[in-house]
Amino acid sequence: MTTETRAPTRILAVADANDNGIALETAVSLADEHGATLDVMACVDPPHDLSILARLSGQKPEALIEEAVELTRKTVRGRLDQIAGGREVDLSVSVGKAYLEIIRHVARSHCDFVVKAAEPLSGLDRFFFASTDQHLLRKCPCPVWLQTPHAQTHPRTVLVAVDLDLEGAAEPQTLRALNRRVMEAACMLPFAPDAEIVVLHAWDAIGEGIIWAFSNGNDMRIAADRYVNEVLAARQDAMDRFLTQVRQEIGPTSRLIPCLERGSPEKVIHDKAKAVGADVLVMGTVARTGLHGVIIGNTAENIINSLDCAVLAVKPDSFTSPLLET
């Protein structure tokens, strides 16, 4: 681990004319917490049937887009003036695919944190993470905080998912750095008083089945239990060492609660988030296959789409967005 701790310096709040202002409120709180610059942007994505709408309305397509841009600008500006409390904030409205415009803004303006309201997919109160959000989870280079409509701007219970199985990782240094980035991002949140950070590691004793298959008689159960206990002890030791480093190098102000749960990350994270009433889940999301045990691709999306809480997704330092590669 490095001893350098990086607080956000330039935060991008993504708003639109339809959300309830949660992204703006959260971004303002986060910016106030760290004295960061705040950018606000909204996106107008032209509908695929724009030409038909233009013909039926008797207007040019460009005029319809301009009207949508001005309506979005007026709506978001009014909400921003209420929330920002006199803060001078520039608002930009982009036209195009939202995830493309957001990632381009991040790269162009060197933003190091994105806050956005989660997109509704189905149901009256149920919010999933749909197209734009999934693209950001996969491709945005900086942390992305996806807030649900009734989420807390100052979370009280933060669930942090880390993978401490460095011995089983194809790239242990990358995994070690990602664990730190996840904890670092979690510790940067604007916490409520008496907030708690639950540090969760999903583990399993994958060799237990081999012991049951090849051992004989009464020794079978003893050998299997001994193996499971040794794996658990190793993970407990890894958790203790990890949290000692976190306290020394990051210095969280909230209480850290270690938690080891046996099972697949998908099930363990889902169940624990519900059990502790997590306000936000902080996790690593990567689009590569070299990190065994890290939440990757569809697994991350399955976890996120099964949750009711907000999500803060973090990439490894080495991650380069495929949209920015030349």
DSSP 261-288: EES-HHHHHHHHHHHHT-SEEEEE-BS-
- DSSP structure class, residue 156: S
Q: How confident is the model at residue 56 (pLDDT cuts 50, 70, 90)?
A: confident
Q: Which has the closest alpha carbon to 283: 297, 89, 27? A: 297
Residue finishing a domain among 153, 187, 202: 153
Q: Sign of the CA dihedral 35, 310, 184, 175?
A: negative
Q: Which has the closest alpha carbon to 145: 320, 1, 158? A: 158
Q: How far from the centroid of its chain's Cα atoms is residue 248's Cα?
A: 24
Q: Sign of the CA dihedral 251, 275, 264, 122?
A: negative
Task: Give per-residue pLDDT as tens, 260-311.
Answer: 999 988 899 999 999 999 999 999 886 444 444 445 455 666 777 777 889 9
The two structure tokens encoding residue 90: 């520039």
List of E strands, 45-105: 91-95
**pLDDT of the residue at 128:** 46
Residue with the two structure tokens 């990358």: 174
Among 125-134, 182-191, 233-242, whose mean pLDDT is lowest?
Answer: 125-134
Alpha carbons 157 and 317: distance in angstroms, whole number: 26
Residue 183, burial from CB neighbour count under 10 angstroms (0-12, 13-18, 19+): buried
Q: Which has the closest alpha carbon to 312: 173, 149, 148, 166? A: 148
Alpha carbons 148 and 115: distance in angstroms, whole number: 11
My answer on whether 146 and 178 are in the same domain is: no
Task: Give per-residue pLDDT as tens, 82-97.
Answer: 998 777 888 999 999 9
My answer on whether 124 and 222 are in the same domain is: no
Of residues 41 and 48, more confidence is placed in 41
Alpha carbons 233 and 226: distance in angstroms, whole number: 10
**pLDDT of the residue at 146:** 92
My answer on whether 235 and 181 are in the same domain is: yes
Q: Is the pLDDT of residue 52 over 70?
A: yes
Q: Percent of the chain at pLDDT above 70?
A: 85
**pLDDT of the residue at 5:** 65
Once rounded to an integer, what is the mean pLDDT over residues 72-77?
A: 92
My answer on whether 170 and 271 are in the same domain is: yes
**Given the DSSP bridges, would you call strands 196-203 and 10-15 parallel, antiparallel or unpaired?**
unpaired
My answer on whether 236 and 124 are in the same domain is: no
My answer on whether 163 and 299 are in the same domain is: yes
My answer on whether 130 and 182 are in the same domain is: no
Give the CATH number, domain containing residue 212: 3.40.50.620
My answer on whether 247 and 165 are in the same domain is: yes
Task: Give per-residue pLDDT as tens, 131-161.
Answer: 788 888 888 999 999 998 888 899 999 999 9
**pLDDT of the residue at 210:** 65
DSSP 112-128: -EEEEEPPP-SSSS---
**pLDDT of the residue at 308:** 80
Q: Percent of the chain at pLDDT above 90?
A: 49
Q: Which of 35-44, 117-126, 223-232 has the highest mean pLDDT?
A: 35-44
Residue 242 near residue 162, CB atoms below 8 Å: yes
Alpha carbons 152 and 144: distance in angstroms, whole number: 16
My answer on whether 12 and 132 are in the same domain is: yes
Q: Is the pLDDT of residue 3 over 70?
A: no
> Rounded mean pLDDT of the chain?
84
**pLDDT of the residue at 57:** 82
**Given the DSSP bridges, would you call strands 310-314 and 196-203 parallel, antiparallel or unpaired?**
unpaired
Buried b (16+ CB within 10 A) or exposed e, 194-230: ebbbbbbbbbbbeeeeebeeeeeeeeeeebbeebbee
Residue finishing a domain among 129, 153, 177: 153
Centre a 10 Å sphere on the Cβ of residue 170 and count the other Cβ atoms it contains: 12
Residue 103 near residue 75, CB atoms below 8 Å: no
Q: How confident is the model at residue 241 (pLDDT cuts 50, 70, 90)?
A: very high
**pLDDT of the residue at 297:** 54
Of residues 78 and 213, more confidence is placed in 78
My answer on whether 324 and 246 are in the same domain is: yes
Q: How many domains does the chain have?
A: 2
Alpha carbons 219 and 315: distance in angstroms, whole number: 44
My answer on whether 77 and 165 are in the same domain is: no
Once rounded to an integer, what is the mean pLDDT over residues 243-250?
A: 92
Give the residue numbers spanning the domain of 289: 155-326
Residue finishing a domain among 138, 153, 168: 153
Once rounded to an integer, what is the mean pLDDT over residues 114-131?
A: 65
My answer on whether 132 and 249 are in the same domain is: no
